[in-house]
A and B are shown apart, each in its own frame.
Chain A
Amino acid sequence: MKSLEIRLPGLELKNPIMPASGCFGFGREFSQFYDLSELGAIMIKATTPVPRFGNPTPRVAETSAGMLNAIGLQNPGLDKVIGEELPWLDSYDVPIIANIAGSQIDDYTEVARKISNAPNVKALELNISCPNVKEGGIAFGTDADVAKSVTRAVKEVSQVPVYVKLSPNVTNIVEIARAVEDGGADGLTMINTLLGMRLDLKTGKPILANGSGGLSGPAIKPVAIRMIHEVSQHVSIPIIGMGGITTVEDVIEFFYAGASAVAVGTANFVDPFICPKIIEELPAMLEKLGYDHISECTGRSWGKHEQIAYHRA
């Protein structure tokens, strides 16, 4: 399937489809359904220096064509991820993108330094956009200067290319994107979840114990498309796109918007076979649309008139 091979900083992808962080654990659960080596890459659950339990339950609430989550970055901690999860994943022929999080810059650099030494970790995904933790997370991703300095700090210690995961919960996402590019980011991943809330009909109180949570799923796809379309025309680093992908048509749309690869999140919960299904259907879709290679789709939505409009705005 040559038409699907993609090269990005640190990553040689058999195909441009990968599960999104937090929606695939560390792969174990999905390995009972299919061979993980079929995937382009795997974005593992956010890893923090020490184990985290996360937020109280309920942690999820369904919405129209989407869901809210407030997991709160639960993970087994750096040592266990390096000692158990990554070696287990190493039995598969698939590059790992390690999602890293923390509540202060030192947390990010500690995780980055150690985890980037693991042989199968080919890139880092800097999570400065989690809406569900009190400190850190999104606080790093909503201020351009802070986003730039955390990117720079992680770049200094990482052995592998660094992708920065952008939050859509900002007024000017281009400004943040440019700042992290300046900070040395090798690529961007976007979008993380949108901050949202649902209230219980009987009690009038939030359904999520955390109050608010991150919105994901098909409902956010148009937001992701618009943001990727805009950001991709203002940076020169590649974008791994995500946000509501459930079909092969969605994948093409993300490429048109300006993505060079894509990740599938929430859809894995509904259909555990979604990633291999999309991978299988992609070549026929490319042929149908008249492309020899998936990369020809990247940025087809770009146009001079839009660029002018942005510069005026």
Chain B
Amino acid sequence: MIKQEEMKVINQKEIAQSIYELTLEGELVSEMSQPGQFVHIKTGNGFEPLLRRPISISSINPGKKQFTMIYRAEGKGTELLSQKEIEKSVDVLGPMGNGFPLNEAAAGSDTVLLVGGGIGVPPLYELSKRLKEKGITATHVLGFQAKEHVFYEDEFTKLGETYIVTADGSYGSQGFVTDVIRDLPKDFTVIYACGPTPMLRALEIEYGHKKLFLSLEERMGCGIGACFACVCHTADDPTGSSYKKVCSDGPVFRSGEVVI
């Protein structure tokens, strides 16, 4: 169930250039069920900015009623969010949407790959932890612009093999995530991905025949499915009137379900 709550800031720190890790506490955490869901945050009081900001849930700690998100402070809203201090409160609506389906991967029989690009990396962390609990050790391929933007390398490495790739080659290998995946010796049966749309498209072209799950990004109004801001065509009716809403039907879709 989606709830609205003033959640308490437990911790906030800059973990890479302009990348912040923010931990919040509140009852709403008990509603968080799947990795890949997101929250919708009111980053300032009043009308500046007016709309909420969608940010993925990066890890969940139900015991402590806390969850963590990781975001890049770039525009008005995320900049304001990065200024929230410990003990202050943040207006959160969530959890929203449908996350990554865990039951699509089976321990023993499946080899699982997680692919993240930039601020698409965070939701994969909770996903990888959950897979681990199921007895599945995932391989991670994480892409960033440059060295100073890389985050959570150690955290992912603890959960499984982790490859970092940067666009400018300043850290890890140089190029795109797809270059790295091609060179990996393993054949993956299930792939989960989150990142910029061009990355998701490239993955769909190369690995669309496998079990591939993609988390999409779209500009949102309401975040709950009421305003039709975040709509995409379904793949079986690419120019017709069938649609899916990224906020409430997604943000995670099976490859081939919608037009990206």
Contacts and interface: CB of A to CB of B under 8 A. Distances in A.
Interface of A: 22-25, 28-30, 32-33, 45, 50-54, 57-67, 69, 71, 74, 76-77, 217-219, 246, 266, 268-273
Q: Is the interface of A mostly helix, strand, loop or mixed?
A: loop
24 contacts: A22-B227, A22-B228, A23-B222, A23-B226, A29-B224, A29-B226, A30-B226, A33-B2, A53-B240, A57-B219, A57-B231, A57-B232, A62-B51, A76-B241, A219-B47, A268-B226, A269-B52, A269-B226, A269-B227, A270-B51, A271-B4, A272-B4, A272-B93, A272-B222
Interface string B210-251: 000000001111111111111111000000110100001000
Interface of B: 1-2, 4, 42, 47-52, 93, 218-233, 240-241, 243, 248
Contacts of B51: 60, 62, 67, 269-270
A66 B224 CA distance: 19
A270 B52 contact: yes
A272 B247 CA distance: 15
A25 B226 CA distance: 5
B1 A32 contact: yes
B248 A71 contact: no
Most buried by A among B42, B50, B232: B50
Contacts of A273: 4
B218 A57 contact: yes
Contacts of A28: 225
Q: Please report whether the interface of chain B is mostly helix, strand, loop or mixed according to DSSP.
A: loop
A217 B228 contact: no
Contacts of B230: 57, 59
Contacts of B48: 64-65
Contacts of A53: 231, 233, 240-241, 243
B226 A58 contact: no
B227 A32 contact: no
A69 B1 contact: no
B241 A77 contact: yes
A159 to B, nearest CB: 27
B228 A71 contact: yes
Given A57-B232, A59-B231, A62-B51, A268 B241 contact: no
A74 B50 contact: no
B219 A24 contact: no
